[in-house]
């Protein structure tokens, strides 16, 4: 099974964004995932990792799209 971690900046107000991604992942892939953890961070971080490997980093990838992240997680699971 698969573990997903969504690290988000608390002072930046990224909780809503993190919850949106978490909800999209659990709705689409919930039975195939071991966990989708929200991890607090700072300094503008918004990063999604699958089994310890970063698949999205706001600093490198720009704007996020929850559906794109679900597809990326699904691809890692294949």
Mean model confidence pLDDT for the chain: 96
pLDDT digits (tens, 9 = 90+) for 31-63: 999 999 999 999 999 999 999 999 999 999 988
Buried b (16+ CB within 10 A) or exposed e, 22-56: bebbeebbeeebeebeeeebeeebbbbbbeeeebb
């Amino acid at each position: 099974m698969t573990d997903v971690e969504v690290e988000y900046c608390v002072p930046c107000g990224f909780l809503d964004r993190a919850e949106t991604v978490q909800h999209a992942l659990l709705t689409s892939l919930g039975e195939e995932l071991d966990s989708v953890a929200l991890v607090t961070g700072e300094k503008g971080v918004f990063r999604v990792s699958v089994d310890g490997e970063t698949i999205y980093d706001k600093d490198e990838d720009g704007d996020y799209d929850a559906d794109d992240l679900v597809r990326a997680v699904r691809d890692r699971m294949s």
